[in-house]
Amino acid sequence: MLETLIGRLVMSGVTARAAVADTWGAAHALARHVAAPMHVAAPGTAEALLSPLPLSALRLPPATLASLRTLGFVCIGDLLHQPRAPLTRRFGPDLCRRLDQALSHASEPIEPLRPSELVEVRRAFAEPIAAAETIARYIGKLVVQLCTALEERGLGARRLDLLCWRVDAHVQTVRVGLARPQRDPQRLTRLLCEKIEIISPGFGIEILSLTAVMVEPLEARQVASSLLEAPAPDLSGLVDVLANRVGARGVYRMAPVASDVPERSVTRVAPLSDPVGAGWPDHWPRPTRLLSRPEPIETLALLPDHPPVWIAWRGIRRKVARADGPERVFGEWWKRDAEMIAVRDYFRIEDEAGERYWVFRAGDGEHAETGSHRWFLHGVFG
C-alpha cells in the first residue's frame, strides 16, 4: 500500500515519506525522521525505534523543546525512564501525554480533516431505528435541512453521502451522484430512498448523517423566457436515476475527437456535458458500430488497391458482392515514431446477404515497412 501511495505521489510531482506504526504519534515521528522514503515498524517495537529520535518528533511546542534541551535532554530515550511527576510539574501535562500517545499507553483519537465549506446535517436517535419506512422518513427530513443549508450558500449538490452509524459501531454508506447541481428535496429524497434496500441496519441505526461532499454554485434561474416557446426538456432527472442504478460509468454519450484514426476519433463524455466543438467526419461514411479493437479476418484480395473477394470473420465465410474504396488513413506521426510511415486502406464491403462491413488492410500493399498487410474488420454498418 505504501509503495502504491508513494509511487502515485511521485508521478504527480510530490515528494513524500510515509510510515506505518502501532500509533499515530509513532508513525508521525518515523515518517519525518526514519522513513526513506517509507518505513514499516514491526508491532511492539515503538519504544526501541523512538528512543534515538530527537525530541522534536514528539510534536511538542517550541518553548517546551528549548527548555528540555537546556536541561540536557537530547533524544526521546532520555525522557522514557525519567520520573513523571517532576516533568509534569515543570512542563505541564502535554509532555507526558505525547510520550504515552506515541508508546500506545494513551489513546489518541484521529480527527479527520474536513473542508470548511462542507455542508453536513445529522440526526441522532434516542432509540435505534431499523424499519425501511422509518429510515425513509428521516432521510426526507435530513434532505430538507441540507437543501436549506445549500440554498443559504447558493450551492447545489453534485454528490451526496448518507452515513448510517449502527449500534455495533459499523457504518453503512450510501452514495448518490447527480449530473447537474441540485437542491430539489423531492428529487434528492427519491434517489436516496431508492437505495435503502442496500442498507443493512443490523441491530439498529443510532445516527444518520447526510453530507454534500461535492457542490457547485447554483443560482436561481427563469424556467422559460417566452410564453410561445416550450422550455427545453430537462434530462438530468433521467440521467440521475440511470446513473445511480447502473453506475456513473454506464451512462455516457459519444463525442467526436479531431483524429483521422477511427478508434481515436471518438470518446466518451458525460451525458449532459457541453459540446466539444468538433464535428463528425462526413467526407466518408462511417459504420454504425465501431469495434473497440479491430478483429483479424481471413481474406483473398489482389494487391495493392483491390477490395477482398471474400472474408472469413468469426468462423463464417462471406463472399463479397460489392465494395467501395480504398480510403487511406495515415498514422499520427506526432504520437509515436512507429506511425511515421504506417497507413491503413479501408474498404466498405457488402456480402451476398446484404450485410455491410468496414474492413482495412494494414499497409499500402507494396512496402512492408508501412504495415503487416494483414486484414482486419473494424466496424459494421447498420
Q: Give me the long-range contacts of 110-119 (CB less than 8 A, separation at least 24).
A: 110/24, 117/153, 117/215, 118/211, 118/212, 118/213, 119/146, 119/149, 119/150, 119/153, 119/155, 119/157, 119/211, 119/212, 119/215
Of 219, 228, 234, 210, the closest CA to residue 140 belongs to 210
Give the model's pLDDT for residue 59.
92
Q: Is residue 143 within 8 Å of residue 122, measured between CB atoms?
A: no
Report yes or no: 325 and 348 within 8 Å, Cβ to Cβ: yes
Judge if 38 and 84 occupy the same domain. Answer: yes
CA of residue 12 relative to chain centroid, distance: 16
Last residue of a domain, one of 185, 217, 249: 217
Q: Say if 306 falls within a structural domain.
A: yes
* Closest to 147 (Cα-Cα) out of 169, 178, 116: 178
Q: Are residues 22 and 94 located together in one domain of the fold? A: yes
Q: What is the pLDDT of residues 108-155, one digit of tens each?
A: 887 777 777 789 999 999 999 999 999 999 999 999 999 999 999 999
- Burial of residue 19 (CB within 10 Å: 0-12, 13-18, 19+) is buried
Helix or strand (DSSP H, E) at 139: helix 132-153
Q: Are 127 and 204 members of one domain?
A: yes
Residue 160 sits in the same domain as residue 187: yes
**What is the tens place of the pLDDT at every residue in 311-356?**
999 999 999 999 998 999 999 888 888 888 999 999 999 999 999 9
pLDDT of residue 108: 85
Q: Does 126 lie in the same domain as 95?
A: no
pTM over 0.75? The answer is: no
Asked if residue 272 is part of any domain, the answer here is: no
**Is 68 in the same domain as 141?**
no
pLDDT of residue 56: 92
Domain boundary among 72, 102, 132: 102
Identify whether the C-beta of residue 299 lies closer than 8 Å to the C-beta of residue 312: yes
Q: Is residue 375 part of a domain?
A: yes
Q: Determine the average pLDDT of the residues in 172-199.
A: 92
Look at residues 376, 317, 312 and name the one whose alpha carbon lies nearest to residue 344.
376
| 295 shares a domain with 209 | no
pLDDT confidence of 381, banded at 50, 70, 90? very high
348 lies in a domain? yes
Tell me the three cell numbers of residue 333.
506521426
**Distance (Å, rounded) from C-alpha 251 to C-alpha 239?**
7
* Residue range of the domain that includes 303: 289-380
Is position 370 within any domain? yes
pLDDT on residue 41: 93
3-state SS assignment for residue 205:
strand
Q: What is the pLDDT of residues 357-374, one digit of tens each?
A: 999 999 998 888 999 999
DSSP letter, residue 58: G
Q: Is the peptide bond before 304 cis (omega within 30 degrees of 0)?
A: yes
Question: 195 — alpha (psi -120 to 50), left (phi > 0) or beta?
Answer: alpha
What percentage of the chain has pLDDT greater than the value 90? 66
Domain count of the chain? 3
Residues 125 and 209 in one domain: yes
- State the Cα–Cα distance between residues 191 and 178, nearest whole angstrom: 9
Alpha-carbon gap, residue 199 to 126, rounded angstroms: 20
How many residues are present in the chain? 382
Mean pLDDT over the full length of the chain: 89
Mean pLDDT in residue range 213-230:
73
Separation of alpha carbons 273 and 270, rounded Å? 5
Clarify whether residues 98 and 6 are in a common domain. Answer: yes
Band of pLDDT at residue 207, cut at 50, 70 and 90: very high
Tell me the CATH number at 128: 3.30.1490.100
Domain boundary among 171, 193, 217: 217
